[in-house]
Amino acid sequence: MGVHELAAEPKARRRRNRQPQAVTQQAATLFRIWHGLRDLVDEAERVGDGELVHLLAVAQTLVEDKTTELAGATAFAEVDASLLN
């Protein structure tokens, strides 16, 4: 048996040239992620998984910090922060 060679050359991977999002779009995306994390925290509390609640709360805090960094300190001014995580 001989050595088989491939006749076709491998295709170069094409990457889409994406424009970077505007700061307001980035903040809006992070805010949607934050709301999703808040829902997940509620679900984890309902199930009674304390470690998952803690992990999600840390992730939620990181998203808050990044959003505040992008959009300024007023990004979370209207959020009801009275609920404890």
Residue 31 lies in a domain: yes
Q: Tell me the pLDDT tens digit for each residue of 57-69.
A: 999 999 988 887 7
Q: Give the CA distances from residue 17 to residues 14, 20, 29, in Å, rounded to whole numbers and listed in that order.
A: 9, 9, 20
The sign one gets for the Cα dihedral 14, 19, 25, 31 is positive
Contact criterion met (CB below 8 Å) for 14 and 44: no
In a domain, 85, yes or no: no
Q: Is residue 33 part of a domain?
A: yes
pLDDT at 37: 94
In the prediction, which pLDDT does 38 show? Answer: 93
Number of domains making up the chain: 1
Enclosing domain of residue 42: 23-75
- Residue 15 included in any domain: no
pLDDT at 58: 95
Say if residue 73's pLDDT is above 70.
Answer: no
What pTM was computed for the model? 0.60
